[in-house]
Amino acid sequence: MDHGTSLLLGLEGVEVVGVSVGGPDGRTRVVDVGTCDPAASCCPGCGVRSTSVKERVVCTPRDIGYGDAPIMVRWNKIRWRCVNSECARGSFTEAIGQVPRRRRTTTRLRETIGRAIGDAARSVAEVAAGHGVSWHTAHGAFVDIAATALTDPAPTSVLGIDETRRGKPRWVRGGDGRWVRIDPWDTGFVDLAGDQGLLGQVTGRTSAVVIDWLAAQPAPFRDAIEYVAIDPAASYAAAVAVGQVPDSGVTGLWSFVGGQAGSSINGSVLTSVCESVSVVMVSRHRLRTSRPR
Ligand SMILES: [Zn+2]
């Protein structure tokens, strides 16, 4: 087929071998493609290029739209036999960067979905419906994009911990038939001394989730914390005051020094950013020299 058609599709790693109109609704443009990436015939187990065709298979990875009518990419790909007698892998199916193994969506579609949710702040459900994928697929694409964009938080001297309700309480029936009340809460960690804003957010509001989050941070981050501001939740107090984190170095770093709503640390940091603060905590090793004023 004319090379221009492949250029028009622009899906790296494949070339267009035919276009027809049909599909389940009679108006879908079906684009048949074949592999043109030489690396696709290299065994993922040993790297040796194969020339022994085992069978041909067809898959239809969902791709970005083009024009008004639906479009279906039909990839005719090859299952190769590994020709390396020392390789444990008997056979493998072609994969390319735009359609990795076990993916049913193209990489560029997942990136488009992820950016629509993350950059344009559109809902997962709306973007999923617009691209004809499931909610979980769209959410997974967003998580992948977010993982590449997010960086580890920089150390802060004042860490804020607070709870955020995530949806209304509801009752769901468990696998044993019993009704269980779900009351979803998240815990957010914020930088109260700098301008990083939200440092992290985890599901739940227990001591364990706070301890786990702290334990997951690098030691320099934990060492830099001079003050912790929390709301009155006893679980948070327990986590930061007496929390024991095996093998992490987090062992009761902070102690209560009192404090009420509007308490100030280092001038006006907390009074200006955290009206709900009712407990202010300070790291134990700095108690002698850095009490809140
Ligand atoms: Zn191999």
Residue 235 CA to ligand 1 center (angstroms) comes to 52
Residue 71 CA to ligand 1 center (angstroms) comes to 35
Residue 41 CA to ligand 1 center (angstroms) comes to 10
Phi, psi values for residue 275, rounded to 5°: -65, -30
Residue 81 CA to ligand 1 center (angstroms) comes to 8
Q: Are 186 and 198 in contact (CB under 8 A)?
A: no
Q: Are 28 and 22 in contact (CB under 8 A)?
A: yes
Residue 77 CA to ligand 1 center (angstroms) comes to 18
Residue 98 CA to ligand 1 center (angstroms) comes to 22
Residue 14 CA to ligand 1 center (angstroms) comes to 23
Within 10 Å of residue 112's Cβ, how many Cβ atoms? 20
Question: Could you tell me which of 181, 183, 182, 187 has the C-alpha nearest to residue 164?
Answer: 187
Per-residue DSSP letters for 44-89? TTT-PBP-EEEEEEEE--B----SSS-EEEEEEEEEEEP--TT-S-
Residue 80 CA to ligand 1 center (angstroms) comes to 10
Residue 58 CA to ligand 1 center (angstroms) comes to 22
Tell me the whole-structure pTM to 2 decimals.
Answer: 0.64
Q: What is the pLDDT along the chain (293 residues), one digit of tens a residue?
A: 678 899 999 999 999 999 999 878 889 999 999 999 999 999 999 999 999 999 999 999 999 998 888 899 999 999 999 999 999 999 999 999 999 999 999 999 999 999 999 988 899 999 999 999 999 999 999 999 988 888 888 998 888 888 888 888 888 888 888 998 888 889 999 998 888 989 999 988 887 888 788 888 888 888 787 777 776 666 776 665 544 434 444 334 444 444 444 444 443 333 333 333 334 444 434 333 233 33
- In which residue are the tokens 């187990």 written? 45
- In which residue are the tokens 């072609």 written? 94
Residue 57 CA to ligand 1 center (angstroms) comes to 19
Q: Report the C-alpha gap between 250 and 255 in whole angstroms.
A: 13
Neighbours of ion ligand 1 (CB under 5 A): 43, 45-46, 82, 84, 87, 89
Q: Report the C-alpha gap between 112 and 240 in whole angstroms.
A: 40
Q: What is the pLDDT of residue 204?
A: 87
